[in-house]
Amino acid sequence: MKRTKLRGLKSSYDRRRERKASRNLCIRKYCRRRPRPYRRVCDTCESREKFARNPILRLFHNLKSGAKRRRIPFALPFAWFCAAASASGYDRAHGQSRDSLTVDRIDNRRGYEPDNIQFISHAENSRKGWYERHGKPWEQKEVENENEPF
């Protein structure tokens, strides 16, 4: 983002920046945290900006921390995840709706490993869970042609 600077004129951004920096506060708008020594942006704002720049990194981070919380071993290399996420469309089609993609462990007894991962929709993932709870073999439904109207 390029700012046009007029000599002698300070933008509201400049004024905020100076005011907050002099009070030792993070210079981002509405943020009242304190940055580390010799820095101007706090860790929280910095990581938010980092994730905003790199959405796949956010997905990877969420997956990894979720695995840690659920005590599931996690052994996916970041480079592998990047490639797999964009090849499957996961980076664009993740979310809450039934058709959005999820990261599924093929064998639930194993952790997140490259050969134990597939990207399937929420609906498929729930269906798979049902089959597993009932001790039946699961097979992925044929993916319907997206161009066909219903």
Write out the residues near Zn ion by the rule CB under 5 A. 26, 28, 31, 33, 42, 45
Min dist CB 48 to Zn ion, Å, is 8
Nearer to Zn ion, 27 or 67 (CB): 27
7/3 Cα distance (integer angstroms): 12
Min dist CB 27 to Zn ion, Å, is 8
120/59 Cα distance (integer angstroms): 15
Min dist CB 50 to Zn ion, Å, is 13
Give the number of residues written for the chain.
150
Nearer to Zn ion, 27 or 120 (CB): 27
The one-character DSSP state at 74 is B
Nearer to Zn ion, 45 or 59 (CB): 45
Min dist CB 49 to Zn ion, Å, is 9
Nearer to Zn ion, 43 or 132 (CB): 43
Contact 72, 63 (CB under 8 A): no
The one-character DSSP state at 137 is -
31/40 Cα distance (integer angstroms): 11
Closest CA to 41 of 15, 17, 58, 61: 17
